[in-house]
Structures are given as structure tokens and as C-alpha cells.
């Protein structure tokens, strides 16, 4: 957006209070996740949610957002923040740096992806931790208690969500994101979303298990992209009366022609993580899916893409020393160790990394129908008197209907780790 336009200046005045408290003197277009989904619904689009495992993802996605005049989300999962150079402390700082470098005008939210809750102790620790994260400037939170059985998931989510500021975005999850296998059901989704609604908790998005997978699809191991859009649509239609849409996780490796149909199935948020990592590593990718191509049991580095060959060789050696397979999703856990070395690469290498990630971000924005969604967001914000983006929704059911006895009895973890 035009920094000097009346709509952008009004947007700045109505940013969430936590953003104004920290960045009130900056012209950075950091907005509430609530406003982003409201705009997406008005113009029938999906928001690109890019996992910023490396700071250069932030730079590239903000460039694409400004060029396409699209509102986007920059996000990092709780688990990612432990093994990436970008984290809950420095992502707002990098966002300000890169937004300022291009003269501001990009419109975006900062999203806490997959804030995992696996016990009551996690609930209590989460209150303090999320408070510090939000004061850093994050404007949306995804509570992920899907590791727990349905009733426990509902109770843990209700506990955390009831404490969060209502003016900030909220995503919740039923069913772990784990690829092919047991899918989330309409029954589970209605129990979960209906139960939250009965307590005055109004999520924007529901993440579900619909066949997607975090990371690379490895055909040599029998893994194929298999997002079940029919099941997705069933759940989306069932929860629509509650004002909730679907957040699609694990989009890396999905054909763009399929991605471009997502809006028909109630999806309003699209998460992309591994694809951007593939770009800055310079891993050979499928041109339509972004999936890493595995040859002879290994990722393939392309010399004219991503980091230098010399740095890639260091990355591979570190992976080998840690006992990682050369086609392992665990390469994501090398982000922290090599974050600064990637930033120290020569300018031509930095430029080619940023340019290619921006190219992919633009492709997703187009496939999501999100061009000019920033204007729609500014219009949404102009209709209210102040910064409070809390949605105006109604409680549709009784709390007495959502008990441990009425829970579907499904959900819960199968003993494997599906953290992003």
C-alpha cells in the first residue's frame, strides 16, 4: 500500500494495542490476524502464512506482499523457535528492519504457529510465555492441543484461548497434521468448535488432519500428496455457522493447480514452510509443487540456487555428523546452526535466495486469490472506531452439551512426533 495514503495512515492508527505499544512510532503495517481473515472472507481469498525459519523468508515475503498488495502472515511454530535462527524475540525486529528497508507499505500479521500444549503444565507455562510473545508484537496465535484426546484438547484450548486478547487472531486444531491416515471428522470438529463457542471463544481458523504432511513428500518411501478436499469441505461447511474457516497446513509439495482450488473448500489460511527452506538451501525442487526431489537417497543441491556450494557442503557434513539421513526432514533442525552463515553469504547469493522465495510467495498469493487483499483489509479496519478487532459473534449452544461424556472420544497422539 501507499505509505502516504489516507487508508494506510488510518490502518496504522488502528493496529492492535500490543503493536502500538512497541512499534507506535514506526510506519510498519503490522495488523491483527482478525482483520486479515475478515478481509479474506470479503474478497474470497486465502492468506499466505509463511513459516520464517530463516530471516530472509521475512524479507522475501514482505517484498511479495507489497508488490501484490496482499495481506500476509509471517509465522513460526513453538518447536521451530527452538531450532531456527528466527524466533519469537527477533522476528518482529527483522520484520521492522525489512519493512523499513523497502519504505514500509507491506501489510502483514505475525502468527504464533502450532503453540503446542501437551499437558496442564504446558497450559500454565503457556500463559507467561505467550504474554511475552504478544508483547513482542505477535498478532495471532495458533493453540495446538491436538496431541490430547478430544475432551482434553477442548479444555486445554479453552483455558489458553480464554486468556488471550480477543482483538488478536486465533487458530485452534483438532487432529494432528500427520499425512495419510486417520482424518479429522465432522463430529470432532463440531464438538470442539461448538464447545469453544459455548464458552465465548471465537476462533478464526480450525486446523485439521486432512491428509497433508509437514515437510517433504518422499515418493521413494511411498509418500504422496493427498489432501482430502472432500472431507475438508464437509468440516468447513459444518463449522461455518460459528464463523470459523479452515487453516490448511503442510502445503509444500502440493501442486499449485490444486492449491488454486482451495477457496472452494472453505480454506482461508495456507501454511508454507519447507518450500522456502528448500529455496535457501538450493535443493532441487519440482517446479509446480516445490517438493524436494530425492535422487539416490539424497537431496540434490543445485549450484546456481540457494546458498553457496561451499556452505551447503558444511551443512551436509553437520547433518552427517549428527546422524541425519541425507533426505531427512531433520535438515530443518540445522537452521539455527547456519542462520548467521547464510546471512553472511555474498550479496549476489543473498539476492538470488530472496528473489526466488519472493517469486514463490507471489505464486501462492496469486493462487490464493489474495492480490489487493491489503486494500480490503484497510476497508475492514476503517469501519470500526478503534483498534479492537474482536469479532461480533453469538454463542450458539449450551456449555452443558460439551462434556467429557459427550466427547467423540477420538483424537490424541499415536506415539509419534508430528511437531512442525
Q: Can you give the pLDDT at residue 413?
A: 47
Establish if 354 belongs to a structural domain.
Answer: no
pLDDT tens, position by position, 62-87:
999 999 999 999 999 999 999 999 99
Residue 179 pLDDT grade (very low, low, confident, very high; cuts 50, 70, 90): low
User: How many Å apart are CA 85 and CA 211, to the nearest integer?
Assistant: 29
Q: What is the CA radius of gyration of the chain?
A: 20
Establish if 195 belongs to a structural domain.
Answer: yes
pLDDT tens, position by position, 122-174:
999 999 999 999 999 999 999 999 999 999 999 999 999 999 999 999 999 99
Establish if 364 belongs to a structural domain.
Answer: no
Q: Can you give the pLDDT at residue 252?
A: 87
Q: Can you give the pLDDT at residue 14?
A: 98
CATH number at residue 169: 3.20.20.70
User: How many Å apart are CA 321 and CA 313, to the nearest integer?
Assistant: 12
- The residue count of the chain comes to 420
Half-sphere exposure of 208 (CA within 13 A, CB side): 33
Q: How many domains does the chain have?
A: 1
Establish if 124 belongs to a structural domain.
Answer: yes
Closest by CA to 165, choosing from 377, 376, 391, is: 391
Establish if 44 belongs to a structural domain.
Answer: yes
Q: Can you give the pLDDT at residue 351?
A: 98
- CB-CB contact of 231 with 209 (8 Å): no
User: How many Å apart are CA 142 and CA 248, to the nearest integer?
Assistant: 12
Q: Can you give the pLDDT at residue 406?
A: 95
Q: Which residues contact 367 (CB under 8 A, 6 or more apart)?
A: 256, 259, 260
- CB-CB contact of 115 with 130 (8 Å): yes
Q: Which residue has the cell 500463559?
A: 127
User: How many Å apart are CA 112 and CA 383, to the nearest integer?
Assistant: 27
Q: Which three cell numbers stand for residue 126?
A: 503457556
Establish if 143 belongs to a structural domain.
Answer: yes
User: How many Å apart are CA 84 and CA 301, to the nearest integer?
Assistant: 21
What sign results for the dihedral spanned by CA atoms 260, 264, 265, 269? positive
**Mean pLDDT calculated for residue range 114-123:** 96
From start to end of 198-337, where are the E strands? 205-208, 245-248, 267-272, 294-295, 298-299
What sign results for the dihedral spanned by CA atoms 63, 66, 70, 74? positive
- CB-CB contact of 232 with 269 (8 Å): no
Boundaries of domain holding 90 = 30-274+371-379
pLDDT tens, position by position, 348-403:
999 999 999 999 999 999 999 999 999 999 999 999 999 999 999 999 999 999 99
Q: 246-270: b or e for each residue (b if 16 or more CB lie within 10 Å)?
A: bbbbbbbbbebeebbebbebbbbbb
Cite the DSSP H helix spans in 214-285: 229-239, 256-259, 274-281
Establish if 57 belongs to a structural domain.
Answer: yes
Establish if 230 belongs to a structural domain.
Answer: yes
What's the predicted TM-score (pTM) here? Answer: 0.95
Amino acid at each position: 500500500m501507499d505509505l502516504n495514503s489516507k487508508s494506510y495512515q488510518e490502518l496504522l492508527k488502528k493496529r492492535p494495542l500490543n503493536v502500538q505499544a512497541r512499534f507506535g512510532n514506526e510506519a510498519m503495517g503490522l495488523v491483527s490476524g482478525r482483520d486479515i481473515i475478515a478481509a479474506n472472507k470479503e474478497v474470497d481469498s486465502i492468506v499466505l502464512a509463511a513459516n520464517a525459519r530463516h530471516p530472509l523468508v521475512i524479507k522475501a515475503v514482505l517484498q511479495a506482499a507489497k508488490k501484490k498488495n496482499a495481506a500476509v502472515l509471517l509465522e513460526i511454530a513453538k518447536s521451530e523457535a527452538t531450532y531456527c535462527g528466527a524466533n519469537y524475540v527477533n522476528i518482529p525486529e527483522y520484520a521492522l528492519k525489512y519493512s523499513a528497508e523497502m519504505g514500509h507499505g507491506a501489510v502483514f500479521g505475525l502468527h504464533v504457529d502450532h503453540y503446542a500444549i501437551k499437558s496442564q503444565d504446558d497450559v500454565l507455562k503457556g500463559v507467561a510465555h505467550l504474554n511475552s510473545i504478544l508483547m513482542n508484537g505477535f498478532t495471532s496465535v495458533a493453540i495446538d492441543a491436538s496431541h490430547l484426546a478430544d475432551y482434553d484438547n477442548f479444555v486445554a484450548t479453552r483455558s489458553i484461548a480464554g486468556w488471550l486478547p480477543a482483538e488478536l487472531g486465533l487458530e485452534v486444531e483438532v487432529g494432528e497434521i500427520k499425512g495419510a491416515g486417520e482424518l479429522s471428522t465432522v463430529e470432532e470438529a463440531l464438538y470442539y468448535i461448538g464447545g469453544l463457542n459455548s464458552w465465548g471463544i471465537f476462533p478464526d481458523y480450525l486446523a485439521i488432519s486432512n491428509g497433508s504432511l509437514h515437510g517433504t513428500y518422499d515418493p521413494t518411501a511411498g509418500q504422496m500428496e493427498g489432501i482430502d478436499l472432500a472431507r475438508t469441505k464437509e468440516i468447513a461447511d459444518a463449522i461455518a455457522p460459528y464463523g470459523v474457516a479452515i487453516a490448511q497446513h503442510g502445503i509444500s509439495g502440493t501442486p499449485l493447480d490444486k492449491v488454486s482450488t482451495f477457496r472452494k473448500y472453505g480454506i482461508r489460511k495456507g501454511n508454507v514452510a519447507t518450500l522456502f527452506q528448500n529455496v535457501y538451501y538450493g535443493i532441487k525442487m519440482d517446479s509446480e509443487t516445490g517438493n524436494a526431489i530425492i535422487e539416490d537417497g539424497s537431496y540434490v543441491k543445485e549450484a546456481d540456487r540457494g546458498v553457496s556450494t561451499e556452505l551447503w557442503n558444511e551443512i551436509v557434513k553437520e547433518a552427517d555428523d549428527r546422524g541425519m539421513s541425507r533426505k531427512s526432514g531433520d535438515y530443518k533442525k540445522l537452521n539455527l546452526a547456519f542462520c548467521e552463515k547464510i546471512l553472511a553469504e555474498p550479496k549476489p547469493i543473498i539476492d538470488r535466495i530472496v528473489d526466488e522465495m519472493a517469486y514463490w510467495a507471489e505464486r501462492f498469493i496469486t493462487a490464493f486469490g489474495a492480490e489487493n487483499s491489503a486494500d480490503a483489509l484497510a476497508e475492514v479496519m476503517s469501519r470500526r472506531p478503534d483498534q479492537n478487532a474482536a469479532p461480533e459473534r453469538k454463542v450458539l449452544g449450551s456449555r452443558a452439551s460439551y462434556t467429557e461424556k459427550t466427547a467423540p472420544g477420538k483424537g490424541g497422539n499415536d506415539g509419534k512426533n508430528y511437531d512442525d
